[in-house]
Amino acid sequence: MAGSEEVVGDIAAGALAARAIEPAHGEVGADGHTHEAACLNCGTVLVGPHCHGCGQAAHVHRTLGAFFHDLLHGVFHFEGKIWRTLPMLAWQPGRLTREYIDGRRASYVSPIALFLFSVFLMFAVMKQVSGPSPVEVKDAATAGLAQNEQELAALRQQRAELARAGKSTEVIDGEIAGRESAVEAMGEVGRELEPTGISRANLSTDLPLLQHAATAFNANPGLALYKLQNNAYKFSWALIPISVPFVWLLFAWRRRYGLYDHTVFVTYSLCFMTLLLTVLALGAAVGVPFLGMVALLVPPVHMYRQLRGTYALGRASALWRTWALLMISASALILFTVLLLAQTGA
């Protein structure tokens, strides 16, 4: 249950964080009810439900109920938009991307907010389905061993006191024997435990950038893999600036499309791929068949549809760009992996 509650917490945190950066473009504001004559933030005279100087709401709540209302509003208002955005992202990604670029944004979650939420969701689900991390397993084993050793020392002290008093030690001898067996077994497990289930390797590379990562994996593969996973979460945003220049190359001779268009395209595409990985992870956890086929077929089909809708391409033009985009994705993942390995060895 604790793991499930942690996942729910991570997802809610993702929604709140995404909502925090999600602008209220085109949304209906408050009903105009205010209690202040001037903005409490900047002092500008109020003429409506929001300050025209800094944008803060005119009426500021100061009750505990209002605090929790804001919490629920942050989660569920974001949720209201996301249920309009996700179907478009899945079935009409090109139309969603083009509408956002053209300024029709009130009904949709912005690409960066959706990316933030999808990354939160993916890593929360991955953590749940993969179980405790190697470092957590090792730490739990070490803590359990230390606790058993302390209890064993206390039992031995009690036995010594009973012996000095001339009392029977038969019962406590049995407890000590059981505790000694537990300590010995846990110590053996701790010595044999490889946190990742992989043996130590003798990795080496001629690239100075990756040499530290190879050294880290050689010294402690479990800890290095744990750091690699954490860095993947921390630096997931880097996939956007890594990918955009490659996409720009596909349209370098079409000046009507700028870097902003490509950034929105890449971010929504990454959102879909992240959510697809989340669904595949959940499917694998419950034994859904044909996941490999889904993983192979869905990404190129989605790329093709998004390219056609975003850039108004014909079939042939979209097809060769889809093939190129698959190569671009592989290149971006390689560069991203190099970045992660470099950070892991830092």
Q: How many residues does the chain have?
A: 346
Is-contact 249 238, C-beta < 8 A? no
| 72-76, 151-155, 234-238, 305-309: which is most confident | 305-309
Check if the beta carbon of residue 134 is closer than 8 Å to that of residue 225: yes
Task: Name the nearest CA neighbour of 120 among 226, 223, 222, 6.
Answer: 6
* Per-residue pLDDT reduced to its tens digit, 10-62: 555 565 566 555 655 444 344 434 456 788 888 888 887 788 888 777 776 66
Q: What confidence tens digit (pLDDT) does each residue in 148-204 have?
A: 778 878 888 888 888 888 888 888 888 888 877 777 776 665 555 554 444 445 555
- When pLDDT is cut at 50, 70 and 90, the band that residue 120 belongs to is confident
Whether residue 210 is predicted with pLDDT greater than 70 in this model: the reply is no
> Is 70 exceeded by the pLDDT of residue 111?
yes
pTM higher than 0.95 for the full model? no
Does the pLDDT at position 84 exceed 60? yes
Region class of 33: left (phi > 0), else alpha (psi between -120 and 50), else beta: beta
Predicted pLDDT of residue 46? 81
Kindly report, residue by residue over 236-295, the tens digit of the pLDDT. 888 999 999 999 999 988 888 889 999 999 999 999 999 999 999 888 888 888 888 888
In the chain, the amino acid numbered 239 is: L
Beta-carbon neighbour count of residue 140 at 10 Å?
11
Residue 38 backbone dihedrals phi, psi, to 5 degrees:
-135, 155
How large a percentage of the chain has pLDDT more than 90? 25
